[in-house]
Amino acid sequence: MRQLTFGVDLAKNVFQVHAVDAAGVIVFQQKLRRGQFLTFFQKIEPSLIGMEACSAAHHWARELMAIGHDVKLMVPAYVKPYVKRGKNDAVDAEAICEAVTRPTMRFVPVKSSQQQSILMVHRSRALMVRQRTMLVNALRAHLAELGIVAPVGLERVADLVQRVFTERRDLPELVYDVVASLVKQIGCLTDEVRILEAKIKAWHRNSPTSRRLATIPGIGIITATALAATISDPSAFKSGRQLAAWLGLTPRSNSSGGKERLGRITKAGDRYLRTLLVVGATAVIRYARQKGGSPLMEWVRKLLQSKSPRLTSVALANKMARMAWAVMAHNTVYRRAIA
């Protein structure tokens, strides 16, 4: 068969396939059931296959690469401009087939199953932390309506509960039942979070990249493992600036006619990584206010003199992202500069 280029629009059960030859002539357009997908491509000579980086895309990319095909994953937003008109599976597959051949297209590196597994642990931990926060807020809100108020913080929950059960208050019996139920759920989630964090620490110890990333100020085990698992190929970015822009930590540009207009950060890319970096930068700022010494801390303190703490934390997160790229791309560790 002639050398072909494929565009595949993935779905849960039915996949739309669009193929063109070297001259750009449409060879066929076909729908395939999930069970027919790999069987179909096993009969095709090694070809270029484009897919959007959506759910299950990394799995199918690995399967197709195993049988000899060259698979490229693309961000759906980058494929959208190639949709001619309307919205259906055939049109989307055609747009994917067109986009994958563009010389300026940016591709998403295919993740391994190991990388996806640790990211699953991260997402599950983040979900449980959110659920625990919701339960704590509900507990505090319920008790505040009864005049029982405690300082904010997860560590204060135990004191709050102890006050409910030890102090003599004229409370209905149902209040104690609800408090006991919420406390039980908070405790179960806390135990599960600790188990997941232990798994993350074990993965960190076995990952050289994650251990190198953890040498950067503001990047701990959680952020280091998330970065190492998400960014499988640092060479996909030409510089640390590109990585920071990919994470949405650069100002949005709205420039025209030679006039530079920069707004708030774009918030594009991986929200989870961006959040971790900003939280880590906030911890560095807290440390820099108390202690100085290194050029990085002096840079933070100088920036705080003219900018707000939140803006400073975002600027530092941008710098941390560029440091992370340098550590991964050059296979080195963070070295503290000498003032």
Q: What is the pLDDT of residues 183-210, one digit of tens each?
A: 999 999 999 999 999 999 999 999 999 9
Q: What is the pLDDT of residues 12-45, one digit of tens each?
A: 899 999 999 988 899 989 999 999 999 999 999 9
Three-class SS of residue 29? Answer: strand
Q: What is the pLDDT of residues 115-162, one digit of tens each?
A: 999 999 999 999 999 999 999 999 999 998 988 888 888 888 888 888
CATH number at residue 38: 3.30.420.140
The percent of residues above 90 in pLDDT, for the chain, comes to 73
Predicted pLDDT at 173: 87
Domain boundary among 108, 127, 157: 108
Contact 314/278 with Cβ under 8 angstroms?
yes
Residue 280 placed within a domain: yes
Say whether both 212 and 200 belong to one domain.
no
The CA-to-CA distance between both ends of the chain, in Å, stands at 64
**One-letter amino acid identity for 89?**
D
Domain boundary among 51, 75, 108: 108
Three-class SS of residue 162? Answer: helix
Is the Cα dihedral 324, 330, 331, 336 positive or negative?
negative
**One-letter amino acid identity for 16?**
Q
Say whether both 41 and 77 belong to one domain.
yes
Domain boundary among 177, 205, 233: 205
Predicted pLDDT at 55: 82
Q: What is the pLDDT of residues 324-337, one digit of tens each?
A: 999 999 999 998 76
Using alpha carbons, list the distances in angstroms from residue 184 to 70, 157, 176, 198.
51, 12, 12, 21
Residues 300-335 as b/e (b if ≥16 CB within 10 A, e otherwise) read beebbeeeeeeebbbbbbbbbbbbbbebbbeeeebe
Residue 32 placed within a domain: yes
Say whether both 193 and 213 belong to one domain.
no
Residue 21 placed within a domain: yes
Residue 335 placed within a domain: no
Q: Could you list the residue range(s) of the whole structural domain that residue 38 is in?
A: 5-108
Say whether both 213 and 321 belong to one domain.
yes
Using alpha carbons, list the distances in angstroms from residue 13 to 10, 31, 36.
8, 10, 10
Residues 127-139 as b/e (b if ≥16 CB within 10 A, e otherwise) read ebeeebeebbeeb
Residues 36-52 as b/e (b if ≥16 CB within 10 A, e otherwise) read ebeeebeebeebbbbbb
Question: Domain total for the chain?
Answer: 3
State the average pLDDT over residues 289-300: 83
